[in-house]
Each structure stands twice: as C-alpha cells, then as structure tokens.
Chains A and B, each alone.
Chain A
Amino acid sequence: MHNCVALSIVSQRQTVTKRDGENRRWELVAYQLCSTTERIGRFVLRGDKKMTNNNLNKLLAFCVLFCTQKTSIVHGAQALETKVSLLLHAEPENPKCFAEGMSDLTCFWEEDEERAGSADQYSFIYTYQNENSSECSVTALPAAGGKRLYFCRLSQTQLFVPLDIRVFRDDLLIHNRSLFIEVVFLLDPPANLTLTSTGTQGQLKASWLPPSLKYMGDSMMYEVSYAMAGSHIGKVEEVQASSELILRGLQSGTKYKVRIRVKLDGISYSGYWSAWTDPVLMETMPGDLDPLIVSLSLIISLVLTLLSLLVLMSHRRFLLKKIWPIIPTPESKFQGLFKVYDGDFQEWLGHSTGGLWLRPTYFYSEEFPAPLEVLSEVSLGPVLPSSALPPKASEALGEEEDEDKKLKRVDPALMEGWRETPQEHWPMDQLRAIHRHPAPWTQSSLLESHDAYVTLNAQNHSVEEPLDDILEETLPLQVLFASGRTSSESRSDLSSNVQQSSGSGRLSSQSSFEYPNHTWPSKGPGYTYMAVADSGVSMDYSPMSSNKIDDIGKGVIYTNEYKNEIPAHRRPIGSPIHFAF
C-alpha cells in the first residue's frame, strides 16, 4: 500500500495545471490502477481458476492505461526529487515549502533514519491569517544518504496572506514557520526548448514554452545559459516575460549547448530558480568571409599591383634589354644586302658599285697582297728569254682578258722597268750578260746577293708597279732565265699552263725550277726562292673556271693552285719555297 500512496502523491502533482475535478479523477485513476494491479497480482499468485476472459480483458486494459501513464508518473517523480534536492540547498528554514501552481503547496522536512518516526507521529498544522487552523496529513518517503523525508501537500491555498505552519511530533513542536505562498514558487523548467538559426552569422534563436500558469505570465523571468559544446565556461542572459531569445556574438560554425531555467520576478510573485532544462545542442552558421577583411585585402593587392606596374614602366628599357636582348645585325655595314637581295651575298656582290673593291680588302684588311718574289740564282744557267717572263707575270696576275696583251705588255714593261731602274734591272743586265755569255756561273758573287724577281701585284695597275715592289734579296736569279731550251720548254709549259687555265695557271715548280744543264753551283745558296706571303685566307686553290675568276674580280684575288713540288734533287737545300700572293 505504501507504493500506492506514493503513486497517489505523484499523480496528484501531475494535475497541478488541470481543473480540480480532473485532479480528483486522475488521483482516483492512479490509486485504482495501483490497487488493481496489486489485487491482480494476488489473484495470479493464488492461481484463481475463476478468472474469466472478462477479467483478463480488464486486466489488459488497466495494464495498457498504466503503462501509458507510467512514463508521466515516473517523470513527475523525477521532478519532485529534483525540486527536493534544490530546496534542501536553497531554503534554510523548515519545513521547506514550495508552490508549483496557483493552488498548491508542498512542504517537507528531513530527518535522519535513526531518529525518524513513522508518519503518523507527525502533525502538520497550518493557519491562514484570521482563520482557523487546519491539519495536513503527513507522508514519509525514504531518501538517499540514510534520510527520511516527510511530506505534506495542500491542494487549496490562499495567496497574499500570511500562512503559519507548525509541525509537531508527538505533540512536540519541531518546526514553525510563517510564509506567503506567492513568494515560494518553484516552477518546472520550461518545456520544448528549441534552437533555430536566425539566418545571420553568429546568432542562434532560443525558444521555449513558458510554464502555463495563469496570471503569472508577465511575471516570469528566464535565465538562458549558453556555452560552446565541450566547454564549461558559458554566458548567461536574462529575459523577462518572453518566450524566445536571440543569442548574439556566437562563433560561426560552432556547436553550442543552451539551457534555460525560470523564476518569478519577485514583484508580485517570487520564488526559487527552477531546475535547468536538458541542454540542447545546435551548430551556428558556418563562417563567411568578413567583408571588411575581403575589401582590405583587395585594396592592398590593388595598391601593390599599381606599385609594381610603376616600377616596371620606369625600368622597362632595362628590363627589355635583359629579357629580350637585341640581336646585332650586320645590316648597317651591308647596305641593301638584306632588304634588297634578301641576304644573297653573291648577288649583292655582283650588283655592287665601285666601292666593291674596298670590300674584299675590307675582308682582308689585314692582309695585303704581298708581292710575289721570284728569286733565283743569278749564277744559274742561261737566262730565260725575256719572253718567258711575261707569260709568267701575266699568269701570276691572272688576267684572262688581256692575257695576250699582257704578255706582250708585260714583256716590254718589264723590260722597260728593268731598264729604267738600274738597281732593279741589274739582274736583267745580269741576265743579258748571262745570255750573252752563257758561261757557267762563275761570277755569282755579284749576283749572289742580288735577286731577280718578279712581283705579282694584286692591284690593277701596270706591271710597273710590281717592279717597284721588287724585293731585294741576295739570291741568285732563278732558272727561269735559263737556256732557251729550257725556257722554251718552260715557256711552252707556261703557255700551256696558261692556255689550260686562263688566269689560273700553274706554277709548276718544276718549270720554275727547271735548271739548265749546268750543274748547280755549289757555292752559295743556290736555290730558287719564291717569296710568297701567305695571305692567310683560305682560298680555293683548285683550278677554277674563268667564270669564277670573273666573279671574283678579274684577278683581284689570285687563286692559283700551286704545287709545292720540287724535285728533290733540285730543291734547294734546307730552304723552303715560298709563294707570295
């Protein structure tokens, strides 16, 4: 029966918000359910065979009702336990009383199990101002920690009037208290706490259902506690007479836990803070780029870009030189080579004007055509007829057109030149002398130190010039001025050579150094010397066609194939053969 009594107390509490008639009914239902189950249990244990189907159906119906109500009753019991623990800490006076609704009052006190008596030992007497006293029935419930709780519940109360409470144990006053019921309210926590997003970052909207107490809606004060999930440090905000609150200043994209409790404001009604609701979790909206930061970064990047552009523009020439260096072209030196002739150099050469002569010289600026020195021992054999010389000279000059003329021209020119310059022509004299007196070389002393030579000048001058450049060497005249037979042979050779390749004859050392039958004078360095200064230009010494010679410039460049072939027996001892071009 004790269980049924406790259930009746709890069931009464569930009906605080309902009308009185309903209160009575629920109480009755709870008590009946409890009693019925007990009786049914006894029946089952007895194994009463008289239990019919009707009884079973009733039992089933009761069980169903009981089960559906059980959850609420259990919940109520838990709330009572919470409130008791709250008041045990908050209220120092005894008995501790609290009002949950508009017409109820629950008072309790605590005693140790050892000294505790039964409930009927206690009497709870309450007296309203200017009224008679009344008594409330005391119930006892076990509590944790070896304690016992004694309850008294009033279902009809008067507010705004002093209430005197006296508790007696076996006629001994143990507690005495005077209170106003409207100032000891201890409400249930607000229900249906929900969190929603407001659409703005860093905000959450908390909404709840206020306790449904008549006349007290505008006297309610709420305290909202919110903190980041997992953190114990939170903030508290108070709001009065409202059912929602917008939490601001929250971090974006963070989960928050929110809870709320309620209390009456204390002007007309007052009381204790209710228990906290169960925390509700909600994540705030994800963070977005702060517009201020975005705008500042854009401005900074723009400023930096402008600065870099300014620097680039001010140093663009320097940078262009470094990045895209100018490739030097020889266009300035060769006027019209690229624009007119598209880089065809040969064509450009062909169409060039008088200044063309300069160009090859420009190419070979360092090399001057040195005179060709044909040196031979004076004391050598008969001098070649002078006619042999012109072909040689003309051959050396390499002029095709005037070849014959040159032969003739050179001949007298040479002769004249030799005649003119005694110094220059004394080899000729010598030659004449030798010619006249084809005696062996015995008087080579004079001629030893002198040379008779033919100069080949690259310039298009008369052959007289070459004579100016005749080098003076003390070498004997060459065998070119040798005997006629030889000379004729050589001449024929020369002529043949000339005829073979006009302008590019061969200087056959063999013909050049065809000595007469005389023995080679042993004395002195009897050798044939042809000074050839190497121009240093790699030229094609192969037999060239006349066209090519014409192209080059009519003997401006003397291209000859020469054979540095000297018969071993005729080769001067220890001295090289030089050909001067």
Chain B
Amino acid sequence: MTSISGPVVVLLTVLQWAGRGLPSPVRPICDPRVLDRFIMEARDTETALRGCKAGCGVTGTYVVPLTNVDFVVWETKDTEEQALEVQSGMSLFGQALGAVRESVSRVAVQILIDNNKSNIHSLGQVLRSLHIQDLPLPPAPAVGDLVTRKVSSLSELLHVHTNFLRGKVRLLLTNAPACQQNST
C-alpha cells in the first residue's frame, strides 16, 4: 500500500495547489430567507428614516431603477436580461446610497446607510453564487431612460430600494437556474 499511497499523495497535493489558484466555486445561495433579511433591513431603515426631519439633511436627486414588475413581461425575459436589470439597479442604489452617506451628518443615519450598502454588496455575492456572472454594465443610463427615474428624498430612495429588492431581485433569485436545479 505504501507504494500506491506515495503517488496519490503527490497527486492530491498538486490538485490542491491548482485549486487554490482558481476561483473557488461558491455554493449557490438559494435560501429565500437571505434576501428576506435584506428586505426587512431595508424596510426597517425606510421606516426609521421616514420621520426624519428635513429629509435627514439629504438634498439632491438620485437616480434609481424602476421597480415595477409585470410578470407576464418578466417571464418573457431570459435570465441574463433579468440579471442585467438587477445588477444595474443594484449598482445605481449603491451609488445613491454612497452619495447619501456623505451628505448625512447624524451618526445613527450613517449607520443605517452603511448597513444597507453592505447588504447590497452581499447581494452581489449572492448573485455571483448563482453563477450569474458580472456582466459589463452598460454606460450609466440617462435620466429619461425607461429603466430609471429620479428621486429627491432619502425616504423615497429607501422606499424604492425596498421595492426593488422585493420585486426584481427576489424574482431573479428565486428563479435562478442554479436554485431551480437544487429544488427539483
């Protein structure tokens, strides 16, 4: 047995070295409770900052994606198109929240915004786990595009953010092909 174990050990070691270099495949995160948690945190942030006086000191306009979902239309889109829509929307939200973070002065508000930003980043990881590769984002869409719109308050931004998560992001995640294979 010692004669066989030698080459086997060498082979395993080589494979391990090779494996380190390659991007390790992330296990698909298909549990809807992950996204549900993000949604709830976004909602809580929205509720907490709704009563913020003077918009919590946030001024300016922010470009946000459209959140409306027509199932009939949605089902006509393929996964890639859906993923693109989700990813672009997420990036827009990231940018908007970043700009908001810089303009708020209250620490409590800052903490909440930071939390949401980290959730967006985590969602990106989740999407990546579902083999939804990062697609090259199209150039920043204009204000008049059908896929975006403008908001002028923090509460509305957060509200749209919540709706986006509940709608498109969730539909994409629950119907990801990777998750569909696991469930079936």
Contact = CB atoms under 8 A, between A and B. Distances in A.
A binds B: yes
Interface of A: 20, 102-103, 128-130, 156-161, 180, 182, 214-215, 218-219, 267-268
Interface string B63-100: 00011111110000000000000000000000000000
Nearest to B68: A161
Nearest to B159: A162
B132 to A, nearest CB: 17
The A interface, classified by DSSP as helix, strand, loop or mixed, is: loop
Contacts of A157: 70
A93 B102 CA distance: 40
Interface stretch (B47-55, B117-125, B163-171): B163-171
Given A161-B68, A182-B167, A267-B166, 17 more contacts: A102-B71, A129-B68, A158-B69, A159-B68, A159-B167, A160-B67, A160-B68, A160-B164, A161-B66, A161-B67, A161-B69, A161-B163, A182-B166, A214-B71, A215-B171, A215-B175, A218-B174
A159 B69 contact: yes
A267 B69 contact: no
Nearest to B165: A268
Contacts of A128: 68
Given A130-B149, A268-B39, A160 B69 contact: yes
A157 to B, nearest CB: 7
A129 B39 CA distance: 21
18 contacts: A103-B72, A129-B68, A130-B66, A157-B70, A159-B68, A159-B70, A160-B67, A160-B163, A160-B164, A160-B167, A161-B66, A161-B163, A214-B71, A215-B170, A215-B174, A267-B36, A268-B166, A268-B167
A158 B174 contact: no
A159 B32 contact: no
Contacts of A156: 70, 72
A160 B168 contact: yes
A79 B170 CA distance: 30
Contacts of B32: 218-219
A160 B163 CA distance: 5
B166 A160 contact: yes
B31 to A, nearest CB: 9
A218 B30 CA distance: 12
B26 interface: no
Contact of A267 (B40, B70, B174): B40
Contacts of A129: 68
A161 B166 CA distance: 11
A214 B175 CA distance: 10
A130 B174 CA distance: 27
Nearest to A130: B149
Contact size class for B? 20 to 34
Nearest to B149: A130
A379 to B, nearest CB: 154
Contact of B70 (A103, A130, A180, A214): A103
A218 B171 CA distance: 12
B68 A158 contact: yes
Contacts of A180: 163
Contacts of B167: 159-161, 182, 268
A159 B71 contact: yes
Interface in B131-184: 149, 163-164, 166-168, 170-171, 174-175
A267 B44 CA distance: 12
A557 B163 CA distance: 141
A182 B163 CA distance: 10
A160 B39 CA distance: 13
A267 B41 CA distance: 11
A327 to B, nearest CB: 92
A104 to B, nearest CB: 10
A95 B85 CA distance: 33
Contacts of B175: 215
Which of B40, B164, B166, B171 counts the most chain A CB atoms within 10 A?
B166
Contacts of A182: 166-167
Nearest to B72: A103
B111 to A, nearest CB: 23
Given A160-B163, A160-B167, A267 B39 contact: yes
B119 to A, nearest CB: 14
A215 B174 CA distance: 7
Nearest to B73: A158
**A-B complex: 10 closest residue pairs judged by Cβ atoms:** A160-B167, A161-B68, A158-B68, A268-B166, A102-B71, A160-B163, A160-B67, A267-B36, A159-B69, A158-B70
Nearest to B67: A160
A20 B70 CA distance: 13
A187 to B, nearest CB: 16
Contacts of A214: 71
Nearest to B148: A130
Contacts of A219: 32
Contacts of B164: 160
Nearest to B43: A267
A527 B62 CA distance: 172
B66 A268 contact: no
B135 to A, nearest CB: 22
Contacts of B70: 103, 156-159
B68 A268 contact: no
A82 to B, nearest CB: 25
A160 B160 CA distance: 9
A158 B68 CA distance: 6
A25 B34 CA distance: 41
Contacts of B69: 158-161
A160 B72 CA distance: 14
Contact of B170 (A130, A158, A268): A268
Contacts of A267: 36, 39-40, 166
Nearest to A159: B69
A268 B172 CA distance: 13
Nearest to B174: A215
A102 B163 CA distance: 16
Nearest to B31: A218
A268 B72 contact: no
Contacts of B171: 215
Contacts of A159: 68-71, 167
A181 to B, nearest CB: 10
A20 B72 contact: yes
Contacts of B71: 102-103, 159, 214-215
A190 B72 CA distance: 24
A561 B68 CA distance: 150
Contacts of B166: 160, 182, 267-268
Nearest to A267: B36
Contacts of B39: 267-268
A102 B68 CA distance: 13
